[in-house]
Amino acid sequence: MKKKMIRIEPKPFNRGSNLSEDELPIKEVILSPFSMDKDPVTNEEFEEFIKADGYKREEYWCEKGWEFITKNNIQEPCYWHDITWNKKEYPVTGISWYEACAYAKFVGKELPTEAQWEYTARGNDDRIYPWGNEEASSEHANFAPGCQGKLDRKPNKATDYQKNISAFGCMDMAGNFFEWCLDSVSDNYEWDQETKNPINNSDSDIKIARGGSGLHDEDYMRCSARDSYKATIRDNMFTLRCVKNNIDEKNSITKTPRIEKKPSSLLYYQEEPPKDFDLSTWKLTLTYNHKKYELSYEEILNLPQTTISRRMMCVCNWSIRRTWTGTYLSELFKYLNIKPDKTLYLKQTSIGNVDKPKYESTMRLSHALDNDAMILHSVDGEHLSMEQGFPLRFYNFALLAYKSIKGLESLEITDKYELGFWEQKAGYDIEGIIRKKKYYFVDLNTRKFIANEGEVTQF
C-alpha cells in the first residue's frame, strides 16, 4: 500500500514563539528537503506491520523498544480491538513512541523531527494553526475547546475536517491525535546551537509529541506548541506520520563520470535491455539444496520492503550517494522458508543481452548477509533504469560493488566458488579484495573534494 507523501523544500523559518517558555528562544532554522506523509498512518496501514511480524522482528526496534515490548508481551496497539478506535481508515492509536519508530523503520522512513513537523504545519507564512490564523472552531478540528464541559471523545478520519490542512497540503495536523516526533524532551531550545536540521537526540525516555488531541484545547494545536510524554505511554491520544529524509542527496553529489573503458560487465545495461524480455512472465530463480524456487516481479515487490541510503563506488573510483529500495536477501530466505548454511557461497547470474553472454559472480553467503545484501528494484525513488539493471539488481553494500549483478536473473546457493571472467582479469581473490580501494567524491554542499581509500561508510 503506497502512502501519499508531500515533498517539502524548506526555506529558513523562525521556529518557536513567545507564547510559551518552552518555545524559546525563537531562532531561524534551516532544514534539508524531505517528504512528509500527507496524513497520519491508518489502522489499515499499520496492520501490514503486524502481519509482517513486526512485533516479533528485533531488527525494527531500538534496544529499549525491544526490551519494552518483549517484557510486556506487546503484540499490537493498545486499542487494536476497540471498535471506537480500530476502523481501518482512522489513524492508528494506542502506540508508544517505540512502536511508532519501529513502524517507520519497517516502511523505510523515520519519525519527523520537531523542526520538520513544525515547518510542515506552519509553512512560510508563520501561521498560528496549520490552517492559518482563524480562531479554532468545531469546523477546523477535533479538540476540546477550553477543556470545559462533558467530552464525548471520538476519533476522526484525516479527511473529515477539510479546513484542517497545512500550508503544504498535509491533513489533520491539529487535534484528533498527538503525533510522535523523533526528539527527546527539552525545557526550551537552548540546546540548539547549530540551527541546521536540529534534533535533540539525548537518551531521555521522554519524547516530544505535536499537534494536540481530542482531549486538548486550542493552545495545543498551535504549530509551535510542544508537549512531551514517556516513550512507553500507549494512550489513545497518540498516532504518527512519517518522513523520508535525504531525498536530494543524489543531487548534492556529482554523478559518476561515464568512462568508456569500464569493464564490459559494468556497461552491461547501459546499452539496451534484453530483446525478448517480458516482465509479466519473467521469474527470479533461486536454487538451493537441489530445489528450484521461482518468484515473479510482483511477488518480490510484495515482500517486506526497505529503503536505505548509502554511498556506492563505481569502477572509476568516484563515489556517489544513492537511495535504494528493495528486499533484504534474508527476507527472501524467510519467505521461501529456507535457512542455508552461511559457510556456503552465493552465485548470481544476469539475464543476458543480445551479443553478450550472461555475467556471473560468486561471493561468500556470509559476506552477503553480513553486509545487508538486497534484491533491489528501485534507485533514488524510481524503478531501475537500463543503466542500473532491468528489472532487479543484487547489491551487497560492501566494497565488493563489482559483484553486484545488474539485470539479475538467478541466484544459486552452492558449495563451489568460481571467479568470474572479469574478476580473474582484475586480480581479485575469493574475498574480493586484494588491495585497499581508492575513491573520490565532490560534496557540492560543502564544496569539498574528498579522496580516501577503503570502505565508503564514513560519509
Q: Could you read off the pLDDT tens digit of each residue along the chain, which spans 459 residues?
A: 678 999 999 999 999 999 999 999 999 999 999 999 999 999 999 999 999 999 999 999 999 999 999 999 999 999 999 999 999 999 999 999 999 999 999 999 999 999 999 999 999 999 999 999 999 999 999 999 877 655 778 999 999 999 999 989 999 999 999 999 999 999 999 999 888 999 999 989 999 999 999 999 999 999 999 999 999 999 999 999 999 997 654 333 333 333 333 333 333 333 455 556 677 888 999 999 999 999 998 899 899 988 877 666 554 445 566 788 899 999 999 999 999 998 999 998 888 765 556 778 888 898 888 888 899 888 877 787 644 556 888 887 765 555 777 788 899 999 988 777 666 665 666 655 544 555 556 655 565 666 666 554 444
Peptide bond into 40 cis (omega under 30): no
Q: Are strands 178-184 and 13-15 parallel, antiparallel or unpaired?
A: unpaired
Peptide bond into 391 cis (omega under 30): yes
Q: Are strands 382-383 and 393-395 parallel, antiparallel or unpaired?
A: unpaired
Q: Where are the domains of the chain?
A: 5-244, 249-453
The residue whose grid cell reads 548454511 is: 341
pLDDT of residue 379: 80
In sequence order, what are the residues at sequence separation of 6 or more whose Cβ sits closer than 8 angstroms to the Cβ of residue 222? 17, 19, 128, 129
Contact 69, 321 (CB under 8 A): no
pLDDT of residue 258: 33
Q: Which three cell numbers stand for residue 397?
A: 553494500
pLDDT of residue 431: 59
pTM value > 0.75: no
pLDDT of residue 157: 96
Beta-bridge partners for 288? 291
The residue whose grid cell reads 563515489 is: 319
**How many whole angstroms separate alpha carbon 151 and alpha carbon 142?**
11
**How many whole angstroms separate alpha carbon 68 and alpha carbon 90?**
26
Contact 311, 395 (CB under 8 A): no
**How many whole angstroms separate alpha carbon 287 and alpha carbon 294?**
9
**How many whole angstroms separate alpha carbon 265 and alpha carbon 283?**
22
**Residues 142/2/243/385 CA torsion (nearest 10 deg):** -160
The residue whose grid cell reads 528450484 is: 292
3-state secondary structure of 226: coil
pLDDT of residue 143: 94
Among candidate residues 110, 89, 106, 93, the one with its CA nearest the CA of residue 50 = 106
CATH 3.50.50.60 describes domain 5-244: no
Half-sphere exposure of 311 (CA within 13 A, CB side): 20
CATH number of 249-453: 3.90.420.10
Tell me whether residue 316 is exposed, middle or buried, using C-beta atoms within 10 angstroms of its C-beta: 0 to 12, 13 to 18, 19 or more: middle
DSSP-derived secondary structure for 312-363: EE-TTSBEEEEEEEEEEHHHHHHHHT----TTSEEEEEE--BTTBPPPEEEE
